[in-house]
Amino acid sequence: MDPCALENSPERSAARLYEEGRFTAYLKATAAATSVEQRFMRVRALTRKGDFRGALDEIAAIGPMSSGDEAMLLALKSLCHSYLGDPDSARAALAAVRPKPYGPAVKLELAYAKMAIAWGKNDPDAMDRALLAVDVSASPNLYARWLHGRSWACALRGQYAAQLSFLEHAAKQLRLETAAPDVFLDATTTRAIVHLVREIYAQETFALAVRLVETVQWHEELEHERFLTYRGLAWAYALRGMHEKAFEYAYRARDVASSDMWVAASYSDQAYLARMAGQTRVSDALLEHAMLRATTTDWTSRGEERISLLNLAELIADRNPEAAANLLRIYDAIPTRVAPALALSRDSRLPAMENYARGTVLAALGRRSEAVEHLTNAYATFCTIGYAWRAAASALRIHVVTEQDAWLRYAAEAVAEFQESSVAEAIRRRAAAANVDPRVSALTPAQRRVFALMCEGLGDKEIAQRLNISPETAKNHAAKVRSAFGVRSRAAVIASSRALAAAV
């Protein structure tokens, strides 16, 4: 057959649609497919679109096949059941796979199916074991998927710096593929990198992220990923003090927003960025647009979109506390049960973001004690997972609520690595001007929270209850605090720190 004719055949044209991540177009082009290979690709296209029930229907219609194809099919079937929150059916599908010496692609698909089951069990070690048993390093696309899978296990552990490293390697691998690069995986990997470099200092990786964003082959079926990527990059630029670039990507994000929910989020972002840049009048106008969108939108999504309500509530709280509280009520009314495969179902970042938003709104409503409790919980989580800017934001908000200068120091410490950021420099200048007890600065975030409650007169059991930790842990932290102050009793801690008790 003429090579040119083969390249331009309907089969090859359809395959190109899949390679480019144009899954809707691919499914339309292969609606009458009868070959096992094309039916398999339809299953993959449906799973990548998130239509797992449609994928299971497609699987059920596939006829006789080879043992390798059968193993691949069972792996995909298991994966779909995991995504739908049915671990029993997922395990049953994997159990039906006959042990044979399969090729790398089949082995990786089986590993991914095992990973999804392990994710549902909150078992990152099992996720790693599934992948480490497979060697796909000879294929850039397969190896990139392998690296992407490793990043999931890191995320489940809350090890986001390690996750960023795996994703960076995955992005580089995808650019080594010359035959048929995986455009969809490239887009999702780039989006994840951008959102992580917003919070985690990695100057070279940030530069890489900027290059990746401009080289991804974006198109209409990747608008959701492009929106999230542009939005994340806007914030990454803003937090580095690069406001012009921040606005550029914020506007680009709004232009490709695929839902009313995301449009509301875009206006909220732009309002926040305008406030950071000192453009108060512009910020207020954008905030009005955001509020109008948010209160007239049907928030039926159970995924990432609803988080923009938290962002908007934070932003409007000081100006209109009741409106902010209403946004939180809308947020709380949205169904929260998500499939186990979705990161938000097992992600420590979500409760931390909720705590920050609730603390901000409670502070605006004058409920100081509740606000500080939520905000210190958010601060502790963000410190633990290395989310520098969110930790700093939490510390700064606590400083506003309590007028305790040590929180300025904690905010500066959180973003200490961002030496080139004018925003971080402004925080450092404020902290340098504050009078902070060095004994307090030496405490860990957890010890600072205990110290603050000790200064309120709470005992170990009350502190444990307030912080949702064991009495033994509270007792140990209290002992560390006493040691830091060089005293033996709780009363002595309070007495010796009374002049600077506001430092926490």
**Structurally, how many domains does the chain consist of?**
2
* 170 lies in some domain: no
Give the whole-angstrom CA distance, residue 369 versus residue 389.
23
* 92 lies in some domain: no
Domain end marker among 395, 419, 436: 436
| Contact (CB, 8 A) for 140 and 174 | yes
Give the whole-angstrom CA distance, residue 446 versus residue 15.
54
Both tokens of 367, joined, read: 């409920």
Q: Are residues 392 and 444 in the same domain?
A: no
Ramachandran region of residue 468, left (φ > 0), alpha (ψ -120 to 50) or beta? left
Global pTM value: 0.81
Q: What residue numbers bound the domain in which 379 lies?
A: 370-436
**Given a cut of 90, is residue 45 above it in pLDDT?**
yes
Residue 369's identity, in one-letter code, is: S
Give the whole-angstrom CA distance, residue 97 versus residue 282.
60
* 461 lies in some domain: yes
Burial class (CB in 10 A: 0-12, 13-18, 19+), 154: buried
| Contact (CB, 8 A) for 241 and 428 | no
Domain end marker among 415, 436, 457: 436
* 423 lies in some domain: yes
First to last CA, the chain: 77
**Given a cut of 50, is residue 1 above it in pLDDT?**
no
Q: Are residues 408 and 442 in the same domain?
A: no
Q: Are residues 381 and 412 in the same domain?
A: yes
Per-residue model confidence as pLDDT tens digits over 174-187 = 988 666 779 999 99
* 307 lies in some domain: no
**Given a cut of 90, is residue 258 above it in pLDDT?**
no
* 322 lies in some domain: no
Q: Are residues 443 and 410 in the same domain?
A: no
- What is the predicted pLDDT for the residue at 68? 79
Per-residue model confidence as pLDDT tens digits over 105-162 = 999 999 999 999 999 888 999 999 999 999 999 999 999 999 999 999 999 898 999 9
Q: Are residues 461 and 418 in the same domain?
A: no
Q: Are residues 424 and 444 in the same domain?
A: no
Q: Are residues 432 and 386 in the same domain?
A: yes
Q: Are residues 431 and 492 in the same domain?
A: no
Residue 235's identity, in one-letter code, is: W
Give the whole-angstrom CA distance, residue 228 versus residue 235.
11
Q: Are residues 504 and 441 in the same domain?
A: yes
Domain end marker among 420, 436, 452: 436
| Contact (CB, 8 A) for 372 and 401 | yes
* 122 lies in some domain: no
Tell me the average pLDDT of the chain: 87
Q: Are residues 493 and 480 in the same domain?
A: yes
